[in-house]
Amino acid sequence: MITEPQTNYQADDRGYYGDFGGAFIPEMLYPNVEELRSQYVQIMQEPSFQKEFNQLLKDYVGRPTPLYYAERFSKKYNTKIYLKREDLCHTGAHKVNNTIGQILMAKRLGKNRIIAETGAGQHGVATATVCALMGLECIVYMGAIDIERQAPNVARMKMLGATVRPAMSGSRTLKDATNEAIRDWINNPVDTHYIIGSVVGPHPYPDMVARFQSVISEETKKQLQEVEGRENPDYVVACVGGGSNAAGLFYHYLDQPEVGIIAVEAAGKGIDTGESAATSALGREGIIHGSKTLLMQTPDGQITEPYSISAGLDYPGVGPMHANLFRTGRGEFISITDDDAMQAGLELSKLEGIIPAIETSHALAIFEERKFKPDDVIVINLSGRGDKDLNTYIEYFKL
Amino acid sequence: MNRIQQKLQENKKLLSLYFTAGYPAINDTMSILQQLQDSGVDMVEIGLPFSDPLADGPTIQESSTAALKNGMTTQLLFDQLKDVRKTIDIPLIVMGYFNPMLQYGVEKFCATCAAIGIDGIIMPDLPLAEYEAEYKTIFEKHGLINVFLITPQTSDERIRQIDAASNGFIYMVSSASTTGAQSGFGNTQSDYFKRIDAMNLTNPQIVGFGISNSDTFQAATAFAKGAIIGSAFIKHISAHGANSVADFVKTIR
Ligand SMILES: Cc1ncc(COP(=O)(O)O)c(C=O)c1O
């Protein structure tokens, strides 16, 4: 179900979240983006769309995902911690909620060719999956360096029938893969839909992706009502790369001031080391991939390359919704180093029998520095499972 | 009247060239400009390099990356151009992406351009709506002409809006593509060129993207007022050096 709450923290009709957002796109992209912008809300609200979307989320993705009370983990930090189990989604992360929504959108727009960007490969796999499901051509752009680092996900995409094209320009990682996908869209303006992987890019993408991911907080409300007798937790916590799993968990709580919002960024080796991805701390207002938002850049406005041990968090920008949560103070932003995240990932594995994605481990690591009351109810988005990160865990812990 | 507007009134087809400032070498800017003027080029787009040029093909991506590696910045380009009007009198346009302009400060960027004697600006990722809402008054205060793009996919209605918002020329992108030299134009292009010509727009059109030689220049200017060459020129100076500008221009007309 996609519902429509009225809040101050949502996009306005020009795609602005406060000072952030908009559509800073070259004219070559205007027809594509305008076609989407003028139709996305209406298409999403069609009963036939909702029916198909909900059916696939249930039967194919495996929703609703459990809201699990992590008893031993809670005991350790003397507070009440629930985990929203997006790691149990088909393909292993929340990313598929968005790709299911966008593939249905693409079909209704009459598109038969799908392009996507990917960093670690999670969004690429989720896109290749829905393209296989719908029988559509799929081309995934991936930085040449990431292709080397993430061989298993490259193989998965190939098994699913997708073509993986290396991005050879710039720093040859996620931002360059995104540039290549945008260039592909410029060169193929009629038959192609671009499935962006997070709440980034020009309007309407941040809002559209947030709506598709909002199923996370919609379910959380109902589930929390059943176990705690109230819909609203005291805090919602999620890691932020571009910000889609966070947008999904925050969505229905944005306008509930009693719910604290905590966004967790990757500090990498430390905020001041020059090897970090903590955009809220290190970024300034600027334009990346068609959106005005906070981004890491040189004084001259050249976009810089972030660093994190987790490939899903090393995006130099952040979605405009989150830039606005940061600027207005509605969200609390915490950054977590590689080392602290890795320890938290190991800890959850040992205490709860759940091996999280390293992205997610960042959100799990806040309890060493951020203290909560014993009766606080905290929901953490367990955005993905750790299978894809096994090599990194093995190398790091010498397993 | 602005130099661009004056040039557009001349009774000839205009040849405009694009190059990336800071490429091949950091200090080539003034020498390339002088050679372009001396070889009879009508107008120049000076490219301000950007780390993520998403409307550009491989040639301009690579020249931009190299220019940034060489140390080009917005301020350095303006410093290099400080005395440009002592020797160069053809119209000059700065072409780049919006983020470096935003970081420099839109007001300061425009004021500096005006002080130097820059005549116009092309920012492909500063769209019409954002320009009109936030920045138009600043550009106009400094007498800068903002140039908008149209493509074969742009609707007639939007072309009319862009025509109304323009006060120099319309940059007519030849095909649905990023920048990059093509070997020729097909029927799609000539239909598009004819369609736009038949709209009788207020602003003349200059065709860019995919113009690489005399044939494509002739085809593009059969209807339009002029044409812009970028990638093919950059390829030429990559192969033959920054002092070979005249050799390239001679092959075009
Ligand atoms: C498991 C997981 N969590 C989080 C992210 C970060 O993306 P976002 O901030 O859009 O949720 C990724 C990205 O690949 C991911 O795979």
What is the rounded distance in angstroms from the CA atom of residue A367 to the CA atom of residue A79?
10
Closest-CA residue to A218 (of A247, A176, A195): A247
Backbone dihedral angles phi then psi of residue B170, each to the nearest 5 degrees: -105, 130
> How far is B207 from B149, CA to CA, in rounded Å?
10
Q: What is the largest CA-CA distance in chain A?
A: 56
CA dist A239 and A380 (Å) reads 9
Q: Which CATH class is domain B14-252?
A: alpha beta
Pocket test for ligand 1, best of A156, A239, A250, A318 (most atoms within 8 A of CB): A239
A286 — contact with chain B (CB < 8 Å)? yes
Give, using CA atoms, the residue closest to atom 15 of ligand 1.
Answer: A312
Residue ranges and CATH numbers for the domains of chain A are: 17-59+95-209 (3.40.50.1100), 62-92+214-397 (3.40.50.1100)
User: In sequence order, what are the residues at sequence separation of 6 or more whose Cβ sits closer than 8 angstroms to the Cβ of residue B132?
Assistant: B165
Gap between the Cα atoms of A323 and A292, Å rounded: 9
CA A15 → CA A2, A117, A319, distances in Å?
Answer: 18, 22, 12
| Cβ atoms of residues A334 and A366 within 8 Å | yes
Per-residue pLDDT of chain B (253 residues; tens, 9 = 90+): 899 999 999 999 999 999 999 999 999 999 999 999 999 999 999 999 999 999 999 999 999 999 999 999 999 999 999 999 999 999 999 999 999 999 999 999 999 999 999 999 999 999 999 999 999 999 999 999 999 999 999 999 999 999 999 999 999 999 888 998 676 788 888 899 999 999 999 999 999 999 999 999 999 999 999 999 999 999 999 999 999 999 999 999 8
Instruction: Nearest chain A residue to B153 by CA: give it.
Output: A31
The alpha-carbon gap from B162 to the nearest alpha carbon of chain A, in Å, equals 11
Pick the residue from chain A with its C-alpha nearest to B150.
A27
B148/A27 Cβ within 8 A = yes
Residue A332's Cβ-side half-sphere holds a number of Cα atoms within 13 Å equal to 12
In total, chain B counts a number of residues equal to 253
H or E element at residue A166? strand A163-167
| A385 residue type, one letter | R
Name the nearest CA neighbour of A345 among A87, A40, A111. A87
Instruction: Give the bridge partners for A293, in sequence order.
Output: A286
Q: Are A220 and A186 in contact (CB under 8 A)?
A: no
3-state SS, residue A9: coil
By C-alpha distance, which of B41, B54, B51, B49 is closest to B13?
B41
Residues B95/B125, Cβ–Cβ less than 8 Å? no
pLDDT, tens digit only, all 399 positions of chain A: 555 544 589 999 999 999 999 999 999 999 999 999 999 999 999 999 999 999 999 999 999 999 999 999 999 999 999 999 999 999 999 999 999 999 999 999 999 999 999 998 999 999 999 999 999 999 999 999 889 878 899 999 999 999 999 998 877 889 999 999 999 999 999 999 999 999 999 999 999 999 999 999 999 999 999 999 999 999 999 999 999 999 999 999 999 999 999 999 999 999 999 999 999 999 999 999 999 999 999 999 999 999 999 989 989 999 999 999 999 999 999 999 999 999 999 999 999 999 999 999 999 999 999 999 999 999 999 999 999 999 999 999 999
Concatenating the DSSP letter of every residue in A15-51 gives: SEETTEE-----GGGHHHHHHHHHHHHHHHHSHHHHH
The partner residue sitting opposite B151, judged by closest CB among A28, A179, A284, is A28
Kindly name the residue from B45, B83, B107, B163 that is annotated as catalytic: B45
- State pTM to two decimals: 0.97
Q: Which residue of B has its CA nearest to A185?
A: B177
CB contact under 8 A, B98 and A284: no
Q: Catalytic site residue B45?
A: yes
Instruction: Give the closest residue (by CA) to ligand 1 atom 5.
Output: A312
DSSP code per residue over B33-44: HHHHHHTT--EE
CA pair distance B145, B136, nearest whole angstrom: 10
Question: Quick check: A288 contacting B, CB < 8 Å?
Answer: yes
Residue with tokens 């031993």: A72
